[in-house]
A = this chain, B = another copy of it.
Amino acid sequence: MKYTKSVEKWGVFELSCEGSSSGNPFTDHHITATFESGHERKTVAGFYDGDGVYKVRFMPSHEGIYHFNVTGNFSGESYCGEFTVTPPAPGNHGPVGVCRTFHFAYADGTPYYPFGTTCYVWELQSDELISQTLHTLKRSPFNKIRFCVFPKSYCYNSREPRSYPYEGTPVDGKSVNEDNVWDFGPGSEGNNWDFSRFNPEYFRHIEKCILELQQLGTEADIILFHPYDRWGFSTMNKEQNELYLQYVASRFSAYRNIWWSFANEYDFIGSKTEADWERFAEIICESDPYHHLRSIHNGVKFYDHSRPWITHCSIQRSPEGTTDWRGQYGKPIVLDEMQYEGNIPFAWGNISAQELVRRHWEALCRGGYGGHGETYVGENLWWAHGGELKGESPARIAFMRQILEAAPAGGLKPKAMEWDEICVVPEDETAEKESGYHLFYYGIHRPAFRWYHIDDENRYSVEVIDTWNMTITKIGEFAGRFRVDLPGREYMALRVKKCDSLFEFCKRNCPA
């Protein structure tokens, strides 16, 4: 038995034991460990990692001494031990969870505002391209990335993966037609997989990528199933799917930065029924003892996001419905797909940077969170492979992230809506009252001026924000009813913050 004697809080404690290689170790043998400290007790399933090695991973949520006991038929021996959990290193805030109904926070209470992007199979590319993606992410505003466990076969995303998740051999199926959105490749006939035997190297590599994301402070929004397949991974049977989910849960759950996305475009996966999805959710809920965030992303038709296992709504659609969806589901609204900046011949991948940035602001100013993707015709499409970003939206999304991070902590809620103006205030009522913070957004509308009247008790500082040109211009400080002149351009916002009570202001400035 090998294990680390010390691990930071929310780090990965890993123990590994030699065990039997006989039969099919993935299905015939099991390993389980129970972890206990003064504060928690968890029983966690381990997994077979190949070469006669069994592993159990655990993410401790408390500092101090932990004891563990290992059981299972993987070996004749029995094991136990202890280790020390140290304070989290700087930058380690724990896993992200839902906070204040519509928002997110890390386990240590630090707010987390999702700024997601999508690179479906970035982790299945060459080392060089992976390292370029990480380099790009580090300089980007994105703190969440959606990607698939299984390789993807689709227009502009047709490469063979660097390796395969199962033992066996694929057919050569590279003949995807790049101009046809419905061409998933030649079909899965001819592939020869043993769906009961995983390729541990494939998953070790994904784990390395998850850890590298973690070092960047990026959440890994892991897509478990998707329809775009020429290998047969989307049409495995019930038992094969369950084995896969248990294996993935036992390998990935201890990484604090993972989220479970049950599907990309679940409604385009003809081979699975609602009962299947519900069963998959059961397995993940049972197998992930840390209850990482769980969602299921639509193509067209929403899944029933009111299901209790769904922690937040992961939505593909334009963000105009955000406020309604908040009301309908009472959960955070994350618009992971709002169409992508790019120029491919498909509607979902050829909008302008201006339009994608507008949709981000619409999402934010209706009380939700937008998501990014980029699809410019070329060798590597960010949305598929990662690599480098070419577009103009990331800089503006970074600017928007600064605005949100400078707002009172805890996220924003919709306050009012006009045809040509939407407005958010802090979700937290105390913060709302204390800050007097209002963020107005005008979208494509271009009023030359606007009258406002927040209240008669306070003075407010008012700034005009040009969300495209990324400027913030202070207009002045006002009390009562006041007029704001605006530049008469598209994509403007207005930030209003309480700067003083009138009482205090008068005490300082008025003659006695």
Give residues in A with beta carbon < 8 Å to B.
179, 342-348, 350-352, 355, 377, 418-421, 444-451, 483, 488, 490
Contacts and interface: CB of A to CB of B under 8 A. Distances in A.
A445 B344 contact: no
Nearest to A342: B446
A351 B446 contact: yes
Contacts of A419: 347-348
A449 B488 contact: no
Contacts of A451: 179, 345
Contacts of A488: 343, 350
Contact of A418 (B179, B347, B421, B448): B347
Contacts of A445: 347, 350-351
Contacts of A342: 446
Nearest to A489: B352
Given A343-B488, A488-B343, A447 B179 contact: no
Report whether over half of chain A's contact residues are helix, strand or loop; otherwise say mixed: loop
Contact of A344 (B346, B347, B421, B447): B447
A346 B442 CA distance: 11
A347 B420 contact: yes
Contacts of A352: 444, 446, 490
How many subunits of this chain does the assembly comprise? 2
B448 A377 contact: yes
A448 B346 contact: no
B444 A355 contact: yes
A443 to B, nearest CB: 10
A289 B377 CA distance: 61
A426 B345 CA distance: 25
A219 to B, nearest CB: 29
Contacts of A449: 179, 345, 377
Nearest to A450: B345
Nearest to A378: B448
A447 to B, nearest CB: 4
Nearest to A490: B352
Nearest to A179: B451
Contacts of A447: 343-346, 350
Nearest to A420: B347
Nearest to A483: B179
A427 to B, nearest CB: 26
A505 to B, nearest CB: 26
Contacts of A490: 352
Contacts of A483: 179
A222 B179 CA distance: 51
Given A179-B451, A451-B179, A444 B351 contact: yes
A343 B446 contact: yes
A60 to B, nearest CB: 48
Nearest to A447: B345
A99 to B, nearest CB: 34
A51 to B, nearest CB: 48
11 contacts: A179-B451, A343-B448, A345-B450, A347-B419, A347-B420, A347-B445, A350-B447, A351-B444, A351-B446, A352-B446, A377-B449
A422 to B, nearest CB: 11
A420 B350 contact: yes
A449 B483 CA distance: 47
Contacts of A351: 444-446
Given A343-B448, A344-B448, A345-B448, 5 more contacts: A342-B446, A343-B446, A343-B488, A347-B445, A350-B448
Nearest to A488: B343
A346 B179 contact: no
A343 B355 CA distance: 20
B350 A446 contact: yes
Contacts of A420: 346-347, 350
A448 B352 CA distance: 12
Interface centre among A350, A352, A355, A449, by most chain B C-beta atoms within 10 angstroms, is A350
A418 B181 CA distance: 13
